[in-house]
C-alpha cells in the first residue's frame, strides 16, 4: 500500500493557552476470529482513516481529509495482537484549542474533531485505486458534516444535554451515511483486481469535542449514550484509551485507541 499521507487543512483558530497538537491513535489490533485459514498464513488487513474537524455554528469551518499511510498488517491469526504502524494509525490534529466556559459564553464555538476508521481486508486491489476511494470518501463526507454541524449553536446546546446528545448522534449518523454508500458503490466500481477486491470488515467513529478539563465531565455526561458501541465513541477531548470492535466478512478484531496531546 502507498505510504503517502494527505495533509489536513487546519481551520483558522484564535490561539489560546490550551492550544496543542492532538492525536487519535489506533495502536494495536487483536484478532478475535480470523477470516483466512492458517494455510494461507492468516489474515491481511489495513486501517484507513478519514479525519474531520468542524466548529458547530461556524460557516466554512468543516474540513475533511484521507489520512493515508496505508500498509498491510500480515500473518494475523486468532488470538494474536499486532501493532499498528504510526504512519497508518496515528492521526494528528494540529492547533486544536480546548475552550472553557468563558470563551463559549463569549460566543466562541469549540471544535469537534474525529476520525472515521475503516478496517479493510487486503486482497488484490491496486494501491492507487484504494487511495482514490478514500480520498473521494473524504470529499463526499465534508458537505454532509458541514450541513449538520455549521447550522448549530453550541452555546445553546450546552444547557440542554438531551439536545446535545441527539445532535451528536445525528452527526455520527450523517458521517456514517456519507461513507457507507462509498463502500458499496465505489468498491464495486474502482477496487477490483483479478476478481478479488478489498472488502471493508467494519467502520467506527471517534468523535471528540474540544473543551477544557472543567467542561469535560459535563460534555462526557451529555453524550454518554449518544453513540452505541456499534457506531463509535464520542466525548470531550481529553487523554483517554479505549477499544472498538470491528466485525464482518467472517472476521472479528478489537482495535485499541488512545487520544493524547502530542
Domain region containing 115: 19-261
> Grid coordinates standing for 253?
478484531
**Residue 51 belongs to a domain:** yes
pLDDT digits (tens, 9 = 90+) for 158-171: 666 566 667 666 76
**Residue 9 belongs to a domain:** no
**Residue 7 belongs to a domain:** no
At 53, the pLDDT band (50, 70, 90 cuts) reads very high
**Residue 119 belongs to a domain:** yes
**Residue 11 belongs to a domain:** no
List the single range of 9-13, 92-96, 210-214 with lowest mean pLDDT.
Answer: 9-13
Taking residues 22-33, what's their average pLDDT?
97
Q: 139-144: list long-range contacts, CB under 8 Å, 24+ apart.
A: 139/64, 140/178, 140/179, 140/182, 141/50, 141/52, 141/64, 141/116, 141/175, 141/178, 141/179, 142/52, 142/62, 142/63, 142/64, 144/174, 144/175, 144/177, 144/178
Mean pLDDT of the chain: 81
Whether 197 contacts 122, CB under 8 Å: no
pLDDT digits (tens, 9 = 90+) for 170-185: 766 676 666 666 555 5
Please tell me the total count of domains within the chain: 1
**Residue 192 belongs to a domain:** yes
Q: 192-195: list long-range contacts, CB under 8 Å, 24+ apart.
A: 192/125, 192/129, 193/123, 193/124, 193/125, 193/126, 193/129, 194/124
Q: Residue 146's closest CA among 84, 227, 55? A: 55
**Residue 8 belongs to a domain:** no
**Residue 82 belongs to a domain:** yes
Amino acid at each position: 500500500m502507498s505510504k503517502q499521507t494527505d495533509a489536513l487543512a487546519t481551520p483558522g483558530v484564535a490561539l489560546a493557552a490550551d492550544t496543542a497538537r492532538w492525536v487519535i491513535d489506533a495502536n494495536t489490533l487483536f484478532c478475535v476470529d480470523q477470516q483466512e485459514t492458517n494455510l494461507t498464513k492468516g489474515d491481511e488487513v489495513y486501517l484507513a482513516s478519514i479525519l474531520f474537524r468542524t466548529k458547530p455554528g461556524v460557516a466554512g469551518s468543516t474540513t475533511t481529509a484521507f489520512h493515508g499511510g496505508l500498509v498491510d498488517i500480515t500473518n494475523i491469526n486468532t488470538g494474536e495482537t499486532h501493532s499498528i504502524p504510526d504512519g497508518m494509525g496515528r492521526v494528528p490534529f494540529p492547533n486544536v484549542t480546548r475552550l472553557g466556559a468563558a470563551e463559549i459564553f463569549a460566543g466562541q464555538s469549540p471544535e469537534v474533531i474525529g476520525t472515521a476508521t475503516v478496517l479493510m481486508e487486503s486482497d488484490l486491489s491496486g494501491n492507487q485505486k484504494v487511495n482514490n476511494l478514500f480520498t473521494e470518501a473524504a470529499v463526499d463526507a465534508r458537505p454532509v458534516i458541514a450541513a449538520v454541524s455549521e447550522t448549530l449553536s453550541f452555546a445553546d446546546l450546552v444547557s440542554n444535554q438531551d439536545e446535545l446528545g441527539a445532535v451528536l448522534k445525528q452527526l455520527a449518523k450523517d458521517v456514517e451515511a456519507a461513507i457507507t454508500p462509498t463502500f458499496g458503490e465505489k468498491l464495486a466500481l474502482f477496487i477490483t483486481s483479478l476478481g478479488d477486491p478489498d472488502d471493508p470488515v467494519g467502520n467506527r467513529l471517534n468523535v471528540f469535542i474540544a473543551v477544557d478539563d472543567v467542561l469535560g465531565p459535563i460534555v462526557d455526561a451529555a453524550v454518554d449514550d449518544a453513540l452505541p458501541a456499534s457506531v463509535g465513541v464520542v466525548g470531550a477531548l481529553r487523554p483517554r484509551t479505549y477499544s472498538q470492535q470491528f466485525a464482518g466478512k467472517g472476521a472479528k478484531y478489537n482495535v485499541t485507541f488512545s487520544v493524547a496531546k502530542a
